[in-house]
Structure formats: structure tokens, C-alpha cells
Chain A
């Protein structure tokens, strides 16, 4: 195991949570409801997603044997809880609106892409483009997220328990990205108005992304985010804030070297 991975694992171990414990704890204040089970070993993705597109649906859903399948629980439009027992492939929880989708495993590329609202939580790691272009809601990755986490995000909150890869928050427009571990190269390249909080090291910041003062309101905001994400092992004061220098908001030939 590489040394940096050992560091990450050690840091994760201090967060006073375990994946399964978090999933159990994450009730979101919802009352227990009737439960349906979709077994993806024998049933199709279509059956699952159709359930989530019925505006009168109220039953929570347990998805067993996801087997890394793509498009698990996409386009949800009802406030139900979907618990996925295992790993998922591309675009799990894509364009989610209102649902609470919990993945007890790892997620492939494009987790919660373009999410509008609701909660998505992954107990393991998430591959690249996590929460790309997401407009709203809360996305929590308890492990690490790969490259381009929060790319072009438009208003969501993303909390990553571990580290994020390079080009995370590229062209991030709105919302908050919290990284409890480290951030890879070119963090926040060409960022607009999103706010980035990183606890560990930042390999480098991208064009027009700068470290900013961590004021009281930011500490308060970050504490709220960590609380919402149910990540208790981190202290807000240990984070640094990054955002846009706003120097590239108007195209100027004098800035050509910045691109």
C-alpha cells in the first residue's frame, strides 16, 4: 500500500465512524415506512427506476445484488429511501430529486450527476466525476473520490470523508465541496462562486482558484455541513477555504497566460 494511502486510511480511522454505522445512523429524520426489495440479480434496472418515477410512490426500497450495474436509482422524483447493498457502476443516483439514496459499497463514475435535491451517501469510494453538475442536495462519500469530483457543480453540497483527485471542482459554479483528506492537482480550476473546504494538503490550485480567509461564518457553515453529513471526526477550524479570485470573470487578453 502506498504511504499516502496509509495516511488516508489512518486519517479515516480517526473519524470515529464506520461505514455500516453511518448507514445505520443516517435516518435523515424520516419515519420507518413500508419496504420493497429489488434483487438486481433477477430483476432489471428498469423495474427499480420505474418505481422511483411514480409520483405516488411511498415505499422505501432495498436494492440487493447491484453487482456494479449502471444507472441504479436514476431520475428518482419521490422522497423515499433507497438502500443499495453493494457496489454500483456509472451514474448511480443520477439526476436524483428528493430521494435519499444510500450505497453500502463503492460507486462508479458520475455518482449523483446533475442531482437536484435529496441525499446520496456512499460508504466506500466514488470514482471520477462524482456529483458532476449537481444543482442541489447533499452528496456524502465516506471514502475517497477520484478525479473531477464536483466538476461544474451548480449548487449542491458535497462532503468527502477522504481525499479527492485532480481537477476537482473544475468550473464549479455554486455550492460547497468539503474534503476531509487531501486534494489533487488543479483544485478549483476556473472556479466561479462555489466554496471549497479542504482539511489536508492541496497539491495545487487551478487557474483563478485561491486560498481565502476562513472567517467565523465559514467555520459555522462548515460545521453545519459536517453535521449534516454526519462526519464527526473533523474539526472545522482545521480546514482551509478556497474559492475564486474572480480575476478571469471577464475575458481579457492580458490574462491569456493564465489559461
Chain B
């Protein structure tokens, strides 16, 4: 576009180019857009918070000398064998099926190198994943694809998935192009057909049933494994309280920025609440029940940096979980595949068609040739590097606030840059004592 045109034309705020393109696409295809990734809209997030750092009233810790502990124990409430993590960052549930076996192996390798856990997904547990994950959380999903007691006993923890941040209240659809012979066999379905993942569990409804279900799983696994309940952030105050009431050891809270392998765009962008307010609401519930730090809180949905980790912990989380960022660390959306992204009508940094099995990075695919592009060892090293960086950044910020353990970070260490973030995170607007909704 020429400078002359640029200065003369005005784009509509109501109908910007991407909205116009979507209307044109819908008119052409007659069906909603299904895609992967997470919410792309701007929502109040961790970037809207700042740490205050130490000052006259607080001592900082020496960055390269004084210890800042990052260890976390999950599942201390009922489980005989709680999970001991060296870092407060875990890998979120992602299925074999949505991801290649190589990608699952790489996630396991990277997480194990850093002393943290990875998580299965819809579709069951693969030997590659179990073999390369020192700590593996086994998801218990509505579809129960691949669910069996032998794998349940091999797991280090069990995560009952009630909801997901990208689509609270929604199920899933793995398109037939990704249902290879192996994926189909694990899910007891014919090869090549679209397969639905149910949005509700088939054998329990509501928190009273969930309590009985959790008890059954504990009985089957002899009360050894921590049992997590994963909720999509919609009503986190009530859902957290009900998860605690149901007997969960750990609550996993996934905000609306959380990723997905395949969901309608309208669902991703318009259902659920951001991670930022969800954390405070969940922590409120835990504190009111005197369960904060007794039932651990793991937060996910849009965690990208050590700053995000530190801010989530300061708001009361015990650990965080990453999915989208972990895939990017493996090589997703890398510029090295730009030529192929262009052939798919997209570009590095924008690629979100994780559902269609043609991922040039070989991560979100079951195509053997594409999947072979990802070297699990190299991918694992990249993920470990990234996790190491996140941990160092988290420690840097914690030490600056004078904390010898990352869990000692607290809301009082932070201020907000916007009124919205101040209200949601319940920290004062920078330069004021004002927390909207809570007076001065």
C-alpha cells in the first residue's frame, strides 16, 4: 500500500480486515472455523502486572549466590505418593493423536530433564511417553479413550478432566486425517473416521458423584496416586470449592488463553474467563475452606515467560502448566518452515491449523513423514532449555522481591498497569492504593 493510500484509507474498528475475511469465509464455506492454538484476542493478562521489587522495607536476595527454592510437592492431601517437582512448571495434557508420538516423547524428555511432570491426553498412554517421562500424569477424560487400569497404575498421578480453558463446556473432535491405525487401535474406533470426544463424563454428574468417582479411582490405585481435578476457568470460585469438596488433591485451573488441538474459533474466543481473574477466585475458595497450600493449585492458560510464572505464583498458585508454549519450544511456528506455511496459506507465527494433520513442524500430525521431522532428543533439549529459562526468570523476580522460595511471592509484591487488571488480580493500580471494587 502506498503512503498516499495509507494516509487516506481508514479501516473500520467494527469491521477490521480479519473480521471481513471471516464473514467472507463463512459465506463461502457455510461452517464455523475449527482451529487449534488458543484465544488470540487481547484480554487482561500477566503483562498488566508489575513486581515492585525490594526497597527500604524489604531485602532482596543476591542473584547469583543466595538460594531461591523452586521445588513443589503436589498431592499431599490424601495420596500415599505425592509428586515431587523440582520446578513449579509442568507440561499440560496433550493427546497422542493430536500430537505425534515423537512430540509426546520430546515433551517427556524435556520435562524429565528438568525434574517435572508431563501429562497424557485424550487417547491414552503411549509406551514412548511413559518411558521418557519420569513423572507422568494420566488424564481421565469423558471419552475414556485408551483408559485401562494397568496404565492407571503405571501413572504417577491421575487428572480428572472436567473442563479445559479453551472450551469450558465443550468436547472435542479429532478429524479422521489424524486417526491412523495406531491412534484408532488405542481408541477402539475405525481408522480414518472423525472421532468425537464427549463433553461430559459418561458415568458421573456433579460434585456428589465426582466424590464417589474419586473414591473409586483411589480404591483401584490403592490410594497411592494424587488425584487432580482440571477445570476450565468459567466459575472458578465454585468449581474449586466443589473440587475440594469432592476430595481432589490438586486443582488444575485452565484459563481461556489455554490451547487446544481443535475447537471452534467462536468457542475459543468467547467462552470462559481469562487466567488472571480466575486465579484469585480459585485462591479465594481455597482460603475460605482453609485448603490453600493443602490442596495445591496448578494454573495454566497463556503462561509464556518466567514473569508469567512468578505472577501466577504470587497470586497464590502452587505451580503452573504450559502447553502451547511447550509446543513452540519444540519447534511449532518456527520460521524454518516458512515456505511450507505459505503453501498452507499461513505464515510462521500465525499457524493454528493444528487439527488438520499437516503441521510442517511434525508436531501436530500423524503423518509418518511429517512426524519424522521432529527429533525427540533435540525437541526434548529445546524444551528443557526453555523450562530452565522460565525457572531462572522466576527465581530472578523472586529474589528481587526478597523471596527464598518462589512460593513466598505474594500479591503485595505486585501492582497493576490497568484498572481492569487491578480489579481482576486484586492488586492496586500502580501509583495508587486503589483496588477497584475493594475501595482504598
Q: Spell out A's residues near B (CB within 8 Å).
A: 45-46, 49-50, 53, 70-71, 74-75, 77, 89-91, 94-95, 97, 109-110, 113-114, 116, 129, 132-133, 135, 148, 151-152, 154-155, 170-171, 173-174, 190, 192-193, 249-251, 253
CB distance B219 to A129 under 8 Å? no
CB distance B194 to A249 under 8 Å? yes
User: Which residue of the partner chain, among A46, A71, A171, A193, contacts B198 with CB atoms under 8 Å?
Assistant: A171
Interfacial chain B residues near A109, Cβ < 8 Å:
203-204, 209
CB distance B198 to A95 under 8 Å? no
Per the bound structure, the CA–CA distance linking A110 and B216 in Å amounts to: 11
Instruction: Indicate whether B221 reaches chain A with its CB closer than 8 angstroms.
Output: yes
What 6 A-B pairs come out closest when comparing CB atoms?
Answer: A75-B220, A129-B203, A133-B144, A154-B188, A249-B193, A132-B203
Query: Distance (Å) between the CB of B264 and the closest chain A CB?
Result: 11
CB distance B220 to A113 under 8 Å? no
CB distance A94 to B216 under 8 Å? yes
Per the bound structure, the CA–CA distance linking A129 and B204 in Å amounts to: 8
A-B contact pairs, 30 of them (CB 8 A): A46-B223, A49-B222, A70-B216, A74-B219, A77-B149, A91-B203, A91-B212, A91-B213, A110-B203, A110-B204, A110-B213, A110-B216, A113-B202, A114-B147, A114-B149, A129-B204, A132-B202, A133-B147, A133-B203, A148-B202, A151-B202, A151-B203, A152-B144, A152-B202, A155-B188, A170-B202, A192-B193, A249-B176, A253-B29, A253-B30
Interface residues of B in 350-392 (CB under 8 A from A): none
Interfacial chain A residues near B190, Cβ < 8 Å:
192-193, 249
Q: Given A50-B222, A253-B30, A192 and B189 touching (CB < 8 A)? A: yes
Per the bound structure, the CA–CA distance linking A54 and B336 in Å amounts to: 53
CB distance B31 to A114 under 8 Å? no
Interface 1/0s, chain B 16-48, versus A by CB < 8 A? Answer: 000000000000011100000000000000000
User: Among the interface residues B29, B203, B209, B222, which one has the most CB atoms of the partner chain A within 10 A?
Assistant: B203
Per the bound structure, the CA–CA distance linking A114 and B223 in Å amounts to: 19
Query: Distance (Å) between the CB of A114 and the closest chain B CB?
Result: 6
Interfacial chain B residues near A133, Cβ < 8 Å:
144, 147, 202-203
Interfacial chain A residues near B216, Cβ < 8 Å:
70-71, 74, 90-91, 94, 110
CB distance B194 to A71 under 8 Å? no
User: Among the interface residues A74, A190, A250, which one has the most CB atoms of the partner chain B within 10 A?
Assistant: A74
User: Which residue of the partner chain, among A45, A75, A135, contacts B221 with CB atoms under 8 Å?
Assistant: A75
Per the bound structure, the CA–CA distance linking A135 and B213 in Å amounts to: 18
**Which single residue of chain A is at the shortest CB-CB distance from B176?**
A250
Interfacial chain B residues near A71, Cβ < 8 Å:
212, 215-216, 219
Interface residues of B in 138-191 (CB under 8 A from A): 143-144, 147-150, 152, 173, 175-176, 187-190
Query: Distance (Å) between the CB of A239 and the closest chain B CB?
Result: 24
Interfacial chain A residues near B215, Cβ < 8 Å:
70-71
User: Which residue of the partner chain, among A74, A132, A135, A151, contacts B148 with CB atoms under 8 Å?
Assistant: A135
Secondary structure call for the B interface = loop
Secondary structure call for the A interface = loop
Per the bound structure, the CA–CA distance linking A201 and B198 in Å amounts to: 28
Query: Distance (Å) between the CB of A233 and the closest chain B CB?
Result: 30
Instruction: Indicate whether B196 reaches chain A with its CB closer than 8 angstroms.
Output: yes
CB distance B144 to A250 under 8 Å? no
Interface 1/0s, chain B 204-237, versus A by CB < 8 A? Answer: 1000010011011001111100000000000000
Per the bound structure, the CA–CA distance linking A53 and B196 in Å amounts to: 33
Having A70-B212, A133-B203, A253-B30, one finds 19 other A-B pairs with CB under 8 Å, namely: A45-B219, A49-B219, A49-B222, A90-B209, A91-B216, A95-B149, A97-B149, A97-B150, A109-B209, A110-B203, A114-B147, A114-B149, A116-B149, A129-B203, A152-B143, A152-B144, A249-B194, A251-B173, A253-B29
**Which single residue of chain A is at the shortest CB-CB distance from B223?**
A46
User: Among the interface residues B188, B189, B193, B223, which one has the most CB atoms of the partner chain A within 10 A?
Assistant: B188
Interfacial chain B residues near A253, Cβ < 8 Å:
29-31
CB distance A95 to B152 under 8 Å? yes
Interfacial chain A residues near B143, Cβ < 8 Å:
152
User: Which residue of the partner chain, among A94, A173, A250, contacts B194 with CB atoms under 8 Å?
Assistant: A250
Interfacial chain B residues near A116, Cβ < 8 Å:
148-149
Per the bound structure, the CA–CA distance linking A75 and B220 in Å amounts to: 5
Per the bound structure, the CA–CA distance linking A95 and B187 in Å amounts to: 16
Interface residues of B in 221-258 (CB under 8 A from A): 221-223
Query: Distance (Å) between the CB of B252 and the closest chain A CB?
Result: 22
Interfacial chain A residues near B194, Cβ < 8 Å:
249-251
User: Among the interface residues A95, A151, A249, which one has the most CB atoms of the partner chain B within 10 A?
Assistant: A95
Per the bound structure, the CA–CA distance linking A129 and B150 in Å amounts to: 22
User: Which residue of the partner chain, among B176, B212, B222, contacts A90 with CB atoms under 8 Å?
Assistant: B212
**Which single residue of chain B is at the shortest CB-CB distance from A75?**
B220
**Which single residue of chain A is at the shortest CB-CB distance from B218?**
A71
**Which single residue of chain B is at the shortest CB-CB distance from A256?**
B31
Interfacial chain B residues near A152, Cβ < 8 Å:
143-144, 198, 202
Interfacial chain A residues near B144, Cβ < 8 Å:
114, 132-133, 152, 154
Query: Distance (Å) between the CB of A79 and the closest chain B CB?
Result: 15
Query: Distance (Å) between the CB of A52 and the closest chain B CB?
Result: 10
**Which single residue of chain A is at the shortest CB-CB distance from B220?**
A75
User: Which residue of the partner chain, among A94, A129, A148, A250, contacts B220 with CB atoms under 8 Å?
Assistant: A94
Per the bound structure, the CA–CA distance linking A148 and B213 in Å amounts to: 17
Per the bound structure, the CA–CA distance linking A167 and B149 in Å amounts to: 26
User: Among the interface residues B147, B152, B209, B219, which one has the most CB atoms of the partner chain A within 10 A?
Assistant: B219
Interfacial chain A residues near B150, Cβ < 8 Å:
97
Interfacial chain B residues near A190, Cβ < 8 Å:
196
Interfacial chain B residues near A174, Cβ < 8 Å:
188
Query: Distance (Å) between the CB of B173 and the closest chain A CB?
Result: 7
Query: Distance (Å) between the CB of B217 and the closest chain A CB?
Result: 9
CB distance A129 to B202 under 8 Å? yes
